[in-house]
């Protein structure tokens, strides 16, 4: 998406430099700029698929760390895992304001808040996380993507 934004800005600057006196060129540039943010918002299917990938990555990382025989992950590991998970979820949601996007952003916020706690495992609010997961699963099901949050 950053590449698209960079390309759009370059085209706008080139158009303005090539014809500074042309009124139609100036009018077209703001319209292109206004359309760009809408292109940044992923659709629900893309949001759900990316959130699913983030969840799978988190689960794999946790399983790898747990294979060392520990019953619980050290808080420092949980902080890193949850921080990375939240970052991936925020990237997945992008500027989406749909139900799926909002649910992904809520889970990202919950993960960020838990990561900031002294003991992230105990800081996760199970009831709130379960509700957010169910909301995301329902929104993703409506988009044709099966998730398991």
Q: What is the pLDDT of residues 59-93, one digit of tens each?
A: 999 888 888 776 788 899 999 999 999 999 999 99
Question: Please, which residues have CB within 8 angstroms of residue 8's CB and are 6 or more apart in sequence?
Answer: 32, 33, 36
**Residues 114, 54: one domain?**
yes
DSSP string, 28-84: HHHHHHHHHHHHHS--HHHHHHHHHHHHHHHHHHHHHHHTTS-SS--HHHHHHHHHH
The answer on 114 and 52 residing in a single domain is yes
Assess whether 105 and 62 both reside in one domain.
Answer: yes
Q: Dihedral of CA 77/78/83/87: which sign?
A: positive
In a domain, 148, yes or no: no
- Total domains present in the chain: 2
pLDDT at 37: 45
34: in domain: yes
CA–CA dist 100, 138 (Å, integer): 8
Residue 54 lies in a domain: yes
* Residue 36 confidence (pLDDT): 41
Crossing angle, helix 23-40 and helix 2-18, to 10 degrees?
Answer: 180
Whether residue 60 is contained in a domain is answered as: yes
- Which helix H or strand E contains 22, and what residues bound it? none
Q: Which range marks the domain in which residue 91 is found?
A: 44-142
H or E element that contains 24: helix 23-40
Q: Name the residue among 88, 148, 95 with its Cα closest to residue 112.
A: 88
Q: Is residue 8 part of a domain?
A: yes
Same domain, 54 and 105: yes
In the chain, which residues have pLDDT < 50? 1-38
pLDDT of amino acid 39: 53
- Given this model, what pLDDT does residue 114 score? 94
The confidence score (pLDDT) of residue 11 equals 40
pLDDT of residue 26: 43
Task: Quote the pLDDT of residue 71.
Answer: 75
């Amino acid at each position: 998406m950053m590449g698209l934004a960079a390309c759009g800005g370059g085209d706008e600057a080139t158009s303005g430099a090539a014809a500074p006196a042309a009124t139609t060129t100036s009018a077209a540039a703001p319209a292109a700029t206004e359309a760009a943010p809408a292109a940044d918002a992923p659709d629900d299917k893309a949001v759900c698929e990316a959130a699913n990938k983030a969840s799978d990555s988190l689960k794999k990382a946790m399983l790898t760390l747990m294979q060392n025989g520990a019953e619980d992950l050290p808080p420092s590991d949980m902080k890193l895992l949850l921080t990375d998970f939240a970052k991936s979820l925020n990237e997945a949601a992008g500027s989406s304001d749909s139900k799926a996007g909002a649910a992904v952003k809520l889970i990202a916020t919950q993960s960020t808040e838990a990561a900031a706690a002294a003991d992230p495992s105990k800081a996760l609010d199970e009831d709130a996380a379960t509700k957010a997961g169910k909301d995301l699963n329902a929104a993703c099901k409506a988009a044709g993507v099966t998730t398991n949050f």
